[in-house]
Structure 1
Amino acid sequence: MILAGGFPMALELPDAERGRWFKDFVDMVIDRDVLEIRKVRQRHVLPLILRHLAARTTSTVSAADIARQVGLDQRMVGDYITLLESVFLAHRLESYGRTLSGKVSRTPKVHLIDSGLAAHLLGVSQRKLNRRDPATLTEFGKVVETFVVNELIKQAGWAESVVQFSHFRTRQQHEVDLVIESSEGEVVGVEVKAKSSIEEADFRGLRLLRDKLGADFVGGVLLNLGQQSFRHDDRLYVMPADRLWTAPSNSW
């Protein structure tokens, strides 16, 4: 499910044909939607910038960094990134806005709009994963996080409460992949790990957020690729990522 993504037409295709569909889809969106919004002289640069965004999915976005690598003006690259967002190929996840400390990063993260598209652009396939190639496993971790973030944002559409999404990161690299805040100020943190095991260090960001927010911190969930759901510590839980689409078979 993570590698296939959520586009209905892509899901209907065999794995071998899905890559061609994603390529044609990107070309169509750029030729039809982007060029309707803006006359882009260097049309060939847009797929290149999209690949750079794919390489940074789940990471903080820097137009200056991408501009240096593609040899373009920073302002132009920033404009092109905004164009790719406007046609729903990528989206930004703003940093958590509540003032916790002057050491909290205020830089947004970027996510591709679909995990299947991210996997295609990053070259992550089931065959490569089966070989346990370290570089592929690293990229797969990004795809898993993008899948979870996008899925939770989609599912918020039917939630009874209106919520806002962001990410939390300090300059000491303590981070929480997704922060969900209600209009009443209640907060849930979600950390994503593309593995079946857990380590104490995996909860570092969730613990910091819990301790900083106190009673406003409702709970923190570490979603991974394991099969067990359990309470790890005070208001901190572990759940399989497939709980996003399957009913739990056990209770807390």
Structure 2
Amino acid sequence: MAPRGSSAQPPAFRTCHLPQIERIWPRRSKPPGDRLAERRDLDRAQDRAAAIADPVGFVDSPELLVIDEIQRAPELLLAIKAAVDEDPRPGRYLLTGSSRLFGMVAAPDALPGRMETVELWPLSQGELDGEPDGFVDALFALGPDLRHESDVTRADYAARIVRGGLPEATTRTDPRRRQRFLDAYVQALVDRDVRQLSDIQHKSELRKLVRLLAARSATIIAANSLESALGLSRPTIARYLQALEEIFLIKRIPGWSRNLGTRATAAPKLIFVDSGIAANETATDARALLRPGAPFGPLLESFVLSELSRQLTWSDQLADLSHYRDQSKYEVDAVLESRSGQVVGIEVKAATTVGPDDFRGLRRLADRLGDDFIAGLVLYTGTSTLPFGDELRALPVSALWQVPAPPAG
């Protein structure tokens, strides 16, 4: 899966954070742009042995060299740095891995100034359905004029949440097979990748932490709130949370404020990178998700935030994603702020109906931001676009992937 919106002039090499083990190209083939590429996979014992024995020779290639699972041989980074310093032509290396280079304990050099990093998320809903995925660009271009009608039902949304976007999981239509795959996937991340990032002394507690976090999706998480449940110290929990984020299992959405005359929380909100993993960790299937008392609301919010995060990696509109909550308990689930200071607020509701009270936090933002506030949306599981004021609209959640980006120019 190639990232959208790649730059025309790449740096000397590019690192890609893969939230799943993924094959980009065959071992010798032509990637996009008809450039011949050599691909080496450090999950293969012979490739890894060659990399460790002769790092300089391993990275010596006249063609684009794709190195998969780079975190398995961090010794290569110094060799790549030397090769890039000697020959700084752009686009010589594409490095992929399931954890961040910057977080690797054994990484000898993070190569500042020599690389561009692209996060590759699990597949978006648009990629799975062949839909346009242009919501972010359309939202900033059209604001409250954005319209969308939908025939997606609550049951459809529940099925999408449980399915997630990991390619291997989406091909498993049998729920038991998908459950076994997701269990094994998370366990492999904990057993292999976390060990490369942090000194893990309580592996069973780490696995328990993952389940606790899944049950608290789309909530503000602080390390001290987990101390009693896990019996671990606050610094240990903070370190484990950092490791889980480094391996792209979770993502923390920062708190947002802009001197609004009231104190806002800076604590981050936690989501899972893949909604299918979160649902599986809470032992929730699509049918159970629709029952009273099920965590449909938090999982739907986490699902929406992760879809927005995906689109922000390729949208033409550059924007930052955060959440808002102030001391007066006004909240907005997602705040998108462009580099020019324009703000869009988004609330997520699992209900098929929407009322004025659902816009409470959005109205607070609109009042305090003035002209910088261009739209406030409540994404809900109904079917129609509904007006609730000049800048406020209710839209079906499926607008996220079914709305096209506006024409260029």
Structure 1, unpaired ranges of 5+: none
Contact 1:167–1:178 (Cα < 8 Å) also in 2: yes
**Structure with a larger share of its residues in helix:** 1
Q: Shift of the alpha carbon at 1:39?
A: 3.0
Residue 219 (structure 1) aligned with residue 219 (structure 2): no
Trace 1:158-237 onto structure 2 (pairs within 5 A).
158-237=314-393
1:83 to 237, 243, 247: 243
Residue 5 (structure 1) aligned with residue 192 (structure 2): no
Trace 1:98-177 onto structure 2 (pairs within 5 A).
98-130=258-290, 132=291, 134-136=292-294, 139-177=295-333
- Runs of 4+ more than 4 Å apart: none
Q: Shift of the alpha carbon at 1:170?
A: 1.4
Q: Shift of the alpha carbon at 1:9?
A: 0.6
Give a deviation string over 1:148-191, Cα, whole Å, max 9, x none.
Answer: 01101111222212111100011222100000000000000010
Root-mean-square deviation over aligned CA pairs: 1.4
| Alpha-carbon distance in structure 1 between the residues aligned to 2:297 and 2:284 | 10
| Alpha-carbon distance in structure 2 between the residues aligned to 1:173 and 1:17 | 42
Cα distance change, pair 92–174 in 1 and its aligned pair in 2 (3 A): same
Give a deviation string over 1:13-43, Cα, whole Å, max 9, x none.
Answer: 0223211111101001111111122231211
Q: Shift of the alpha carbon at 1:124?
A: 2.0
SS in 2 for 1:168: strand
Q: In the alignment, what sits opposite 1:47?
A: 207
State the identity %. 36
Amino acid at match of 2:226: I
Higher relative contact order (CA 8 A, sep 6+): 2
Q: In the alignment, what sits opposite 1:62?
A: 222
Q: Shift of the alpha carbon at 1:135?
A: 2.0
Q: In the alignment, what sits opposite 1:96?
A: 256
Q: In the alignment, what sits opposite 2:198?
A: 38
Q: In the alignment, what sits opposite 1:244?
A: 400
Amino acid at match of 2:299: V
Contact 1:119–1:140 (Cα < 8 Å) also in 2: no
Q: Shift of the alpha carbon at 1:97?
A: 3.1
Q: Shift of the alpha carbon at 1:202?
A: 0.6
SS in 2 for 1:123: coil
| Alpha-carbon distance in structure 1 between the residues aligned to 2:362 and 2:254 | 18
TM-score (ref. length: structure 2): 0.58
Contact 2:321–2:335 (Cα < 8 Å) also in 1: yes
Answer with 1 or 2: which has the greater Rg.
2
Point out the more displaced range, 101-110 or 218-227: 101-110
Q: Shift of the alpha carbon at 1:100?
A: 1.1
Q: Shift of the alpha carbon at 1:108?
A: 1.1
Q: In the alignment, what sits opposite 2:149?
A: none
| Alpha-carbon distance in structure 2 between the residues aligned to 1:95 and 1:170 | 10
Structure 2, unpaired ranges of 5+: 1-159, 405-409
Amino acid at match of 2:163: A
Amino acid at match of 1:205: G
